[in-house]
Amino acid sequence: MVAKKSIKYLVVLVLSLTSVLGFASVSDPVQGAEAGDPVDTAEEINSYIKHHLKDAHDFHLYTDNKTGKHYGFSLPVIVWTSKGLKTFMSSAFHHDDSGSVIVNKDDVKLVKIHSKIYELDKGANVVNFDETHHAKNAHAVLDFSITKSVFGMLVTGLLMILLFGLLARGYKKGNVIPKGFSRVLEPLVIYVRDEIARPNIGEKKYKKFMSFLLTVFFFIWILNMLGLTPFGFNVTGQIAVTACLAIFTVVIYMFSGTKDFWAHTLWMPGVPYVLRPVLALVELVGFVIIKPFSLLIRLFANITAGHFVVMSLIALMITLKASFGPVVSTGMSLILSLFIMVIEILVAFLQAFIFTMLSSLFIGMAVEEHDHAH
Amino acid sequence: MDQLLNDFSPGLFFMQAVILLILILLMRAFAWKPILEALQTREDGIQNALDAAEKAKLEMQNLNADNERLLKEARLERETMLKEARDIKSKMIDDAKLEAQSQADIMIEQAQAAIKGEKKAALAELKNQVAGLSLEIAEKVLRTELSNNDKQLQLVEKMLSEKSLN
Amino acid sequence: MYNLIGAGLIVIGGGLGLGQIGGKAMESIARQPEASGKIQTAMIIIGALLEGLAFGALILGK
């Protein structure tokens, strides 16, 4: 009963997505930038992968090489410029990514270069580049757009609220044992509670942090898995996203630190007085900078590297065609990318697990109470 | 590092912070709290049930032990009763035997005494009768023997010969 | 060029470290199979810390 309902929800979700796609592809007559030019050289593949690893302002599914038509839908752009907040749809850029299409919004000239939106300086009409391909007469703006990553996060959030809300409602209805898909989710929640939070934070205090840990665990996991789908999300491979997650952890353990924790961090007992300020500095740097930095870099680098490897192996199909023929190169790329994909599924879980595990470890360090006197 | 900093989008950071914060609050209110509470109550229920089962088991064990003890006691009692009965029986038999013996002894003694008396009396009478009879016989013999001379002589001779033999 | 050499050195160091962690963990699991869950968790955590170190060095060197 509940299972049927949840399946229905999923179907509705998928349908709503695809209907938006269909609608967008019809209503969005995109003028192809590189019509009739498939991505087939090493440089093109490289830039394609680099482009994928970055955030995007539109949801691009695939490009028809014959007609040069892009399939996908555009997402809203919200930028804070020198003249206030400006909003428009990303279709205004016509899929241009090199700064040649200039969007004029109430005397603010905006261009998109390498998935980043720049505002042209006053009086400029064309973007001038220096030797290192940096725009000389434009500056970056604060970009609050619903980018592809933000879209992915929203989808993930919705999915989580749907799935776990269903599980919660099952309990409220009086089902002691959940039914349907909820039956898969319940052990995961118990796993996070019993294997991650309880042993690291301690029996007495873990309850306060459960909401954060559970949310972060499932958020990262679902986003990682979403990154493995052909939709091409790369949310946890955005350094801003992982930085935000890590800073949440830091803020939480800094604000829930006990007196003991601060005493041990800032004025370590049992150590010569001369050394104490040095130790305090080391500890503070460790807690404020090194620990969050390792958290954010780990997640970012793992996911980015995973995407890079999978896309490179898929691209083997094209790069090796000349030397091995189409059949061998396709087979090789298929087998290798399948193999790496399986590992990536493991990594998707492992990174979510490690992020949550280390977060709870750090929180556990901060809330630990030493009952022994030094 | 430079490239990373260049890739870092403050806007995305801000959006992510807002979304994550809202998501944590929403999930806390609508999912995690009820789920964790339900899990807790369920686990408590299971624990209670287990405890109750353990308690019942213990009680059952106690009851069994009691039963065993009662049975043992009953068996012991029966045993003692049986033993007592056996003892009484053998005692009664012994007593009866003893009584019978003594009774018999007394009777035998009496009978012996009576027999002795009777015997004495019979012997005395026999003696009397034998003495009477012998006297009668001796009278008759003497009468017949001493009726003629020959016979008297014969007797004397016989007696004399007997004397010589001695 | 130099950062590529540095990346290679990082990978060598990280590989040695991961090998040590994995090998010792395997040994201890073989010695005490009943504690395999705890050993695995500790192994993953230490591996993750090492990984963070290596990635940090890679990113800083890039």
pLDDT tens digits, one per residue of B27-62: 998 889 888 888 888 889 999 999 999 999 999 999
Q: Which of B34, B36, B39 sits opposite A172 (nearest CB)?
A: B34
- The sign one gets for the Cα dihedral A215, A236, A296, A115 is negative
Q: Which range has highest mean pLDDT (A67-76, A338-347, B156-165)?
A: A338-347
Position A66 scores a pLDDT of 73
Q: Is the CB of B95 inside 8 Å of chain A's CB atoms?
A: no
Q: What is the pLDDT of residue A276?
A: 85
- Delimit the domains of chain A by residue range: 76-145, 149-367
Phi, psi of A267, deg, nearest 5: -140, 75
Residue A4 pLDDT exceeds 60: no
pLDDT in tens, A115-139: 788 888 777 777 777 777 777 778 8
In this structure, the number of other CB atoms found within 10 A of the CB of residue A359 comes to 29
- Backbone φ and ψ for A133, nearest 5 degrees, come out as 60, 40
HEC sequence for chain B: CHHHHHHCCHHHHHHHHHHHHHHHHHHHHHHHHHHHHHHHHHHHHHHHHHHHHHHHHHHHHHHHHHHHHHHHHHHHHHHHHHHHHHHHHHHHHHHHHHHHHHHHHHHHHHHHHHHHHHHHHHHHHHHHHHHHHHHHHHHHHHHHHCCCHHHHHHHHHHHHHHHHHC
Q: Do B36 and A210 touch (CB under 8 A)?
A: yes
Beta carbons of C55 and A294 less than 8 Å apart: yes
**Listed range (A2-6, A72-76, A81-85) with the worst mean pLDDT:** A2-6
Which chain C residue shows the shortest CA-CA distance from A289?
A: C56
Q: pTM of the full predicted structure?
A: 0.75
| Shortest CA gap A220–chain B (Å) | 11
Q: How many CB pairs under 8 A join A and B?
A: 120
Q: Does residue A23 register a pLDDT over 50?
A: no
Please, which pLDDT band fits residue B74 given cuts at 50, 70 and 90? Answer: very high
Strongest mean pLDDT among A8-12, A21-25, B1-5: B1-5
Tell me the pLDDT band of A98, cut-offs 50, 70 and 90. Answer: confident
Nearest CA in chain B to C57: B1
At residue A48, the pLDDT reads: 82
Has the ipTM of the complex gone over 0.85?
no
Average pLDDT along chain A: 81
Q: How far is A324 from chain B (nearest CA, A)?
A: 36
> Could you tell me which chains touch chain C, where touching means 3 or more CB pairs under 8 A?
A, B
Q: Tell me which chain A residue has its CA closest to the CA of residue B43.
A: A176
Contacts with B3 from chain C: Cβ below 8 Å: 62
A17: enclosing H helix or E strand: helix A2-27
Taking CA–CA distances from C3, the nearest residue in chain B reads B1
How far B23 CA lies from chain C's nearest CA (Å)? 27
- Between A and C, how many CB-CB pairs are < 8 A? 34
**How confident is the model at residue C27, as a pLDDT?**
95
For A41-125, list the strands marked E by DSSP. Answer: 58-64, 69-74, 76-81, 84-89, 103-105, 108-113, 116-120
- A240 with B9: Cβ contact below 8 A: yes
pLDDT at A342: 93
- Best B3, B24, B27, B28 residue to mutate vs chain A (most A CBs within 10 Å): B27
Task: Provide the chain B residues 38-97 that lie in CB contact (below 8 A) with chain C.
Answer: none
Which percentage of chain A shows pLDDT scores above 90?
23
Q: What is the pLDDT of residues A100-110, one digit of tens each?
A: 778 877 777 88
Q: Which stretches of chain C score pLDDT less than 50? A: none
Residue B61 Cα, gap to closest chain A Cα (Å)? 32
In Å, how far is B71's CA from the nearest CA of chain A?
A: 45
- Give the phi and the psi of residue A111 in degrees, each rounded to 5: -130, 160
pLDDT in tens, A139-175: 888 888 888 889 999 999 999 999 998 888 888 887 7
With beta carbons under 8 A apart, name residues in chain C contacting B8.
none
B1 touching C, CB under 8 A? yes
Q: Give the tens place of pLDDT for each residue, B94-106.
A: 999 999 999 999 9
Residue A142: in which H helix or E strand, if any?
A: strand A142-143
DSSP A279: H
CB A320 within 8 Å of CB A260: no
Inspect the interface and report whether the beta carbons of B31 and A161 lie closer than 8 Å: yes
Mean predicted confidence (pLDDT) in A52-79:
79
Q: A86-95, A287-296, B67-76, B138-147: which range is least confident on average? A: B138-147
Distance from CA of B6 to the nearest CA of A (A): 10
